[in-house]
Amino acid sequence: MRSLSHLRALEAESIHIFREVVAEFAKPVMLYSIGKDSSVMLRLAQKAFHPAPMPFPLLHVDTTYKFREMIEFRDWYPASIGCELRVHTNREAVAAGASPIALGTSKCCGLLKTRALLDGLEAGGYDAAFGGARRDEEKSRAKERIYSFRDQQGQWDPKNQRPELWNLYNSRVDKGQSIRVFPLSNWTELDVWHYIHLENIPVVPLYFAKVRDMIVRRESLIPPEHNVLPLLPDEKPQPVLCRMRSLGCTPCTGAIRSAADTVPKIIEELLSFRRSERENRIIDHDQEGSMELKKREGYF
Amino acid sequence: MTTFDSGTVTIEEFLAQEAGKDLLRFFTAGSVDDGKSTLIGRLLYDSRGIYEDQLASIRQSRVNRSTGPIDFSLLTDGLRAEREQGITIDVAYRYFSTPKRKFIIADTPGHEQYTRNMATGASTAALSIILVDARLGVLPQTRRHAAIAGLLGIPRVVLAVNKMDLAGYDQAVFEKIRTDFLAFASRMGFEHIQPIPVSALEGENVARRGTAMAWYTGPALLEHLESVPVAETRAHPDLRFPVQYVNRPNLYFRGYAGQIASGSLSKGDPVLILPSGKTSRIASISTFDGDLETASAPMSITVTLEDERDISRGDMLVHPERRPVAARTFDAHLVWMHEDPLAPGRSLLIKQTTQQVTGRVTAIQGRLNLQTMEDSAAPILGLNDIGKVRIEASRTLLFDAYRANRPTGSFILIDPISNATLAAGMILGAVDRAAPEGHVTTSERLQRNGHSPALLAFSNRELALRLERRLFDHGCQVLASDKPVAQAELAWQAGLIVIAPEIADARVRQLDLVPLPKEEEAALDALMAYLEQQGILGVIERFDSGEGI
Ligand SMILES: Nc1nc2c(ncn2[C@@H]2O[C@H](COP(=O)(O)OP(=O)(O)OP(=O)(O)O)[C@@H](O)[C@H]2O)c(=O)[nH]1
Ligand SMILES: [Mg+2]
């Protein structure tokens, strides 16, 4: 028997996960982050339930600091394939002026991402939430189960995870507890782009190189959108040929210098990369183990 | 990440190269501190599988337990507690790829307390690297991990004798450990064992052959990992399609979605639906990318059938001539994973393929003694024990022996109260009804007869004989008597259905009181319906016999 190609095997595994969750949970939801991983998740979910529409809504946790192009994409793409999108924002914190500059990245993330996510999940009464996190992204994510158990407070206990054998997932939770499900656990960044290429999956244009105005500080390219970062004297945004390798909030997601303006060029570029995709994410670098701390608190 | 030594690769080259690559999933095992995480870190480092910023962050780390400039174990020991305690607590997954092959690595903990996490990482792998510290030799935990790898049916093993730098790179040390390991591991059903002497710290024989052990002429670890065959040589040939999800978007489409566990199916193929025993044909294999003519394991697909059938999650589609075992009682190996020991009799949940049923462990037949590697009698199984047990499920399960078919022979046990995952199970086979151990139990009798015992008082002699025939043809153990039965106890204990004009027993049921239509056939139908409704017939499913259906 001919074995499936690597990507088709990953695809079959992910589809199995989607179906298992829908068969066993009362109220699943997909956390939609608008990025490339979310785009791939959407395609996999479409495949899992074809010809039916996706049997769960999408939830976007909007920090209000997302790129305009992300929001445009969010409001276009899911609807174009028949998905229902819900948006949750921590209005209180936004009204109080929460920003990474005012509060520091870790507190800002805690309020606008983690708190908003937990509240959004609770408001919807969801008992399972799909997330697009991959184990190859970061060292604490490398430790995640595919079904990641969360207690009543949405917290992760990395020292006491349920064993997870074969593809037999334990979906039992008590009221208030939930499972975060990661169908892309075994996908790498390269797999994701390879799949986007093969399947022709739409992604936010920010991933493609273009001349954009950026605040240039030593190695970092910081998007000026939302005007959060105070400019230094004499500093002003300059045009730079660049693209985003991963998408988040504008003040905390750096761009990279790149001329890759098509998916094949991005793949070629990835093959030569010697640095990880999260390097331009300020959130992971506050202190050693900061992602783990955030995840313990309920971040996904 | 993928590593290429040449600078630029075009997309065409990339796609061509990717298409030709296969995937090897492997894991590390062995006793605590034998150097598993260091070995994986070294392998990634030497094959350029680490990003520079990740490397910089471990270079700068406050922790370094190694004697070299970089503590490679930090590449996989990603939790704070792991770095603080200097041990691996839970499995870490790493992904890397060479021009020849893609790899998924599970770096598992050696500490006995976390054996369940080792089993987690091992369950999806095709190869295990079992490490032994050259100074310490084979330890009980080495044996435990080897035994679990064996039970999980991991076909290939690399015995990595590590820290050879601390043993003077001495060939005699390596040979001694190799002999000790083979002595017990050769009985565990591995297809192939490759011993390699290494130093994870120095990188000797890890990504490439070193110079310190000229006496060793075999492959370096990476060479072996890149060339070892990965195709499942023992893949089960028969179709097993556990229905995972019934997809009914509208009145015109009723699809059965699932991942093919083994074998293949094509449009037009006849299929048997279990447990109902009904048949149909595959009308279509529907996917998002269009209909397929044929599909095989491990694809996730949706099929439609030519006939309207009542099918739900947990049912299985198979080829009519190639049935799995259908049984409620079976023997299995368990790896017990909970602090509270397994005591037989408690109600548990069994998850196997796509079904979840209640059941119990009825007997512990043995526990693996890690010194002798033999089973010995045990009243309970404690945390991390490996045992052989008998399990009785409340409903028929459809399975193959784990050795023959991993996806249909595996199961987990879940605590219905705490929801904890209690054990990993590997089915050995259905319990053979012909030769059960010990005395025959009531439930075994029930299973064989397929009905409960019953004492039926019925004065209509004509109809009693017709009912006897009907029940007999139905497969029941039945006796109609025209004389009153005084000693009913014996018949009851034997599990018989007895029909007589008078029965002196408190458990008797009066068929004379059942309202019956005049016409004889209709009256018989009514009597059968009554027996079913009373739970005498039909309580035991048809397929509980422990044989192929
Ligand atoms: N000299 C020497 N030391 C080694 C070698 N391999 C590992 N070590 C050291 O042995 C210690 C334990 O290494 P780890 O890689 O953490 O061991 P482990 O098997 O992953 O441990 P657990 O995951 O906790 O079971 C560390 O201090 C390593 O630096 C080796 O080849 N030579
Ligand atoms: Mg380790």
* Three-state SS letters, B36-102: HHHHHHHHHHHCCCCCHHHHHHHHCCCCCCCCCCCCHHHHCCCCHHHHHHCCCCCCEEEEEECCCEE
In a domain, A266, yes or no: yes
All residues of chain B having their beta carbon less than 8 Å from the beta carbon of residue A158 are 79, 81, 89-90
- For the CA of B82, the nearest atom of ligand 1: 24
Nearest-angstrom CA–CA distance, B142 and A7: 34
Q: Are residues B408 and B454 in the same domain?
A: no
Q: Are residues B351 and B298 in the same domain?
A: no
Answer whether B421 sits within 8 Å of A165, measured CB to CB: yes
Nearest-angstrom CA–CA distance, B359 and B345: 9
- What is the CATH classification number for the domain harbouring B412? 2.40.30.10
Comparing C-alpha atoms, which of B155, B167, B227, B230 is closest to residue B197? B167
Question: A267: phi > 0 → left, psi -120 to 50 → alpha, else beta; which?
Answer: alpha
pLDDT at residue B432 in the model: 64
Surface-to-core class of residue B485, CB atoms within 10 Å of its CB (0-12 exposed, 13-18 middle, 19+ buried): buried
pLDDT at residue B188 in the model: 87
Test the A interface: residue of B245, B292, B350 with most A CBs within 10 Å: B245
Q: Is B130 in the pocket of ligand 1 (CB under 6 A)?
A: no
Answer whether B93 sits within 8 Å of A23, measured CB to CB: no
Structural domain ending residue among the three candidates B164, B193, B227: B227
Q: Is B542 in the pocket of ligand 1 (CB under 6 A)?
A: no
Q: Are residues A92 and A107 in the same domain?
A: yes
Residue of chain A nearest B13, judged by CA positions: A268
Say if residues B151 and B136 touch (Cβ distance below 8 Å).
no
Domain assignment of residue A247, given as a range? 205-282
Arithmetic mean of pLDDT, B62-87:
84
Comparing C-alpha atoms, which of B468, B474, B431 is closest to residue B451? B474
Answer whether B257 sits within 8 Å of A11, measured CB to CB: no
Structural domain ending residue among the three candidates B184, B201, B227: B227
Q: Is B108 in the pocket of ligand 1 (CB under 6 A)?
A: no
Closest-CA distance of chain B to residue A74, Å: 22
C-alpha A98 – ligand 2 centre gap (Å) = 40
Nearest to B78 among A5, A11, A142 (CB): A142
Q: Are residues B248 and B352 in the same domain?
A: no
- For the CA of B110, the nearest atom of ligand 1: 25
In a domain, B549, yes or no: no
Coil, helix or strand at residue B398: strand
In a domain, B436, yes or no: no
Q: How many CB pairs under 8 A join A and B?
A: 199
The end-to-end CA distance of chain A, in Å, is 39
Domain assignment of residue B155, given as a range? 11-227
Q: Across B287-420, where does the E strand assignment appear?
A: 294-296, 300-305, 316-318, 325-336, 347-352, 355-369, 374-376, 386-399, 410-414
pLDDT at residue A278 in the model: 64
Placement of tokens 């009980």 in the chain = B140
Give the amino acid at A57: P
C-alpha distances (whole Å) from A157 to each of A116, A138, A144, B79, B96 are 20, 17, 10, 11, 27
pLDDT category at B5 given cuts 50, 70, 90 is: very low
Comparing C-alpha atoms, which of A71, A91, A99 is closest to residue A251? A99
In a domain, A227, yes or no: yes
Q: Are residues A175 and A278 in the same domain?
A: no
In a domain, B329, yes or no: yes
Q: Are residues B59 and B185 in the same domain?
A: yes
Say if residues B361 and B385 touch (Cβ distance below 8 Å).
no
Least confident of A223-237, A238-252, B413-427: A223-237
The pLDDT tens digits for B440-475 are: 666 667 766 778 889 999 999 999 999 999 999 877
Q: Atom 12, ligand 1: which residue's CA is nearest?
A: B33
Mutate to test the pocket of ligand 1, among B42, B66, B196 (most ligand atoms within 8 A of CB): B66
Nearest to B351 among A50, A168, A288 (CB): A168
Arithmetic mean of pLDDT, B228-237:
78
| Strand partners of residue B259 | B300
Please write down the long-range contacts of B341-348, taking CB distance under 8 Å and 24 or more positions apart: B341/B380, B341/B381, B341/B382, B341/B383, B342/B380, B342/B381, B342/B387, B342/B389, B342/B422, B342/B423, B343/B379, B343/B380, B344/B389, B347/B416, B348/B413, B348/B414, B348/B415, B348/B416, B348/B422
All residues of chain B having their beta carbon less than 8 Å from the beta carbon of residue A145 are 120
For residue B297, the Cα-to-chain-centroid distance in whole angstroms is 16
Q: Are residues A22 and A137 in the same domain?
A: yes
All residues of chain A having their beta carbon less than 8 Å from the beta carbon of residue B414 are 170, 172
Q: Are strands B421-430 and B325-336 parallel, antiparallel or unpaired?
A: antiparallel
Least confident of A43-52, A103-112, A210-219: A103-112
Q: Are residues A165 and A250 in the same domain?
A: no
Indicate the average pLDDT of chain A.
89
In a domain, B372, yes or no: yes
Least confident of A70-84, A86-100, B429-443: B429-443
Say if residues B29 and B122 touch (Cβ distance below 8 Å).
yes
All residues of chain A having their beta carbon less than 8 Å from the beta carbon of residue B354 are 20, 23
Q: Are strands B374-376 and B497-500 parallel, antiparallel or unpaired?
A: unpaired
pLDDT at A59 over 90: yes
| Strand partners of residue B94 | B105
The count of domains in chain A is: 2
| Strand partners of residue B270 | B281
Tokens read off for A32: 């939609």
Q: Are residues A238 and A265 in the same domain?
A: yes
Residue A12 CB-half CA count within 13 A: 20
Buried b (16+ CB within 10 A) or exposed e, A6-43: bbebbbbbbbbbbbbbbbbbeebbbbbbbbbbbbbbbb
Nearest-angstrom CA–CA distance, B525 and A41: 55
Tell me which of A5 and B165 has the higher pLDDT: B165
Comparing C-alpha atoms, which of B58, B49, B34 is closest to residue B109? B34
Q: Are residues B301 and B340 in the same domain?
A: no
In a domain, B235, yes or no: no
Q: Are residues A129 and A219 in the same domain?
A: no
Q: Is B42 in the pocket of ligand 1 (CB under 6 A)?
A: no
| Strand partners of residue A272 | none
In a domain, A276, yes or no: yes
Q: Are residues B426 and B474 in the same domain?
A: no
In a domain, A145, yes or no: yes
In a domain, A190, yes or no: yes
Nearest-angstrom CA–CA distance, A239 and A233: 18
Around ion ligand 2, residues with a beta carbon closer than 5 Å are B 36-37, 88
DSSP letters for A89-128: --HHHHHTT--HHHH-HHHHHIIIIIIHHHHHHHHHT-SE
Mutate to test the pocket of ligand 1, among B27, B33, B88 (most ligand atoms within 8 A of CB): B33
All residues of chain B having their beta carbon less than 8 Å from the beta carbon of residue A176 are none
Residue A88 CB-half CA count within 13 A: 24
| Residues in chain B, overall count | 549
Tell me which of B206 and B64 has the higher pLDDT: B206
Coil, helix or strand at residue B330: strand
Arithmetic mean of pLDDT, A98-125:
87
C-alpha B50 – ligand 1 centre gap (Å) = 19
Structural domain ending residue among the three candidates B318, B334, B360: B318
Q: Are residues A29 and A141 in the same domain?
A: yes
- DSSP assigned state of B211: S
pTM: 0.84
Say if residues B353 and B307 touch (Cβ distance below 8 Å).
no
pLDDT category at B174 given cuts 50, 70, 90 is: very high
- Taking the CA of B202 as reference, the closest ligand is 1
In a domain, A53, yes or no: yes
pLDDT at residue B544 in the model: 36
Q: Where are the alpha helices (DSSP H) in B163-297?
A: 171-185, 221-227
Q: Atom 7, ligand 1: which residue's CA is nearest?
A: B35
Q: For chain A, what percent of residues have pLDDT higher than 70?
A: 95
Q: Are residues B195 and B248 in the same domain?
A: no
Arithmetic mean of pLDDT, B410-428:
96
| Strand partners of residue B329 | B392
Closest-CA distance of chain B to residue A220, Å: 14
Q: Are strands B22-30 and B127-133 parallel, antiparallel or unpaired?
A: parallel
Q: Which range, A278-282, B329-333, B377-381, has the best average confidence (pLDDT)?
A: B329-333
C-alpha distances (whole Å) from B7 to each of A259, A274, B84, B272 are 17, 11, 38, 55
Q: Are residues A125 and A246 in the same domain?
A: no
Indicate the average pLDDT of chain B.
89
Tell me which of B452 and B499 has the higher pLDDT: B499
Residue B449 has phi, psi (to 5 degrees) of: -70, -30
All residues of chain A having their beta carbon less than 8 Å from the beta carbon of residue B16 are none
Q: Are residues A249 and A187 in the same domain?
A: no
Q: Are residues B390 and B517 in the same domain?
A: no
In a domain, A130, yes or no: yes
Nearest-angstrom CA–CA distance, A49 and A31: 18
Q: Which range, B65-69, B296-300, B537-541, has the best average confidence (pLDDT)?
A: B296-300
The pLDDT tens digits for B190-228 are: 989 999 999 999 999 999 999 999 999 999 999 999 999
The count of domains in chain B is: 4
pLDDT at B439 over 80: no
Nearest-angstrom CA–CA distance, A40 and A30: 12
In a domain, B24, yes or no: yes
Residue of chain B nearest A177, judged by CA positions: B419
- What is the CATH classification number for the domain harbouring A84? 3.40.50.620
pLDDT at B542 over 50: no
pLDDT at B15 over 50: yes
Q: Are residues B39 and B55 in the same domain?
A: yes
Q: Are residues A15 and A94 in the same domain?
A: yes
Q: Are residues A184 and A269 in the same domain?
A: no
Test the B interface: residue of A156, A170, A173, A294 with most B CBs within 10 Å: A170
Q: For chain B, what percent of residues have pLDDT higher than 90?
A: 62
Closest-CA distance of chain A to residue B435, Å: 32
Arithmetic mean of pLDDT, B171-197:
94
Closest-CA distance of chain B to residue A194, Å: 8
Tokens read off for B9: 């690769």
Least confident of A170-174, B47-51, B294-298: B47-51
pLDDT at residue B30 in the model: 95
In a domain, A252, yes or no: yes
Nearest to B90 among A7, A138, A158 (CB): A158
Q: Are residues B487 and B511 in the same domain?
A: yes
- Taking the CA of B197 as reference, the closest ligand is 1
Q: Are residues B136 and B51 in the same domain?
A: yes
Q: Are residues B288 and B415 in the same domain?
A: no
Nearest-angstrom CA–CA distance, A63 and A110: 11
Answer whether B244 sits within 8 Å of A20, measured CB to CB: yes
Residue of chain B nearest A19, judged by CA positions: B245
The pLDDT tens digits for B114-164 are: 999 999 999 999 999 999 999 999 999 999 999 999 999 999 999 999 999
Least confident of A37-46, A225-234, B252-261, B519-528: A225-234
Nearest to A5 among B19, B302, B424 (CB): B19
In a domain, B545, yes or no: no
The pLDDT tens digits for A232-270 are: 888 889 999 999 998 988 888 889 999 999 999 999 998
Coil, helix or strand at residue B347: strand
Closest-CA distance of chain A to residue B45, Å: 12
Residue A192 has phi, psi (to 5 degrees) of: -60, -45
Q: Are residues A185 and A210 in the same domain?
A: no
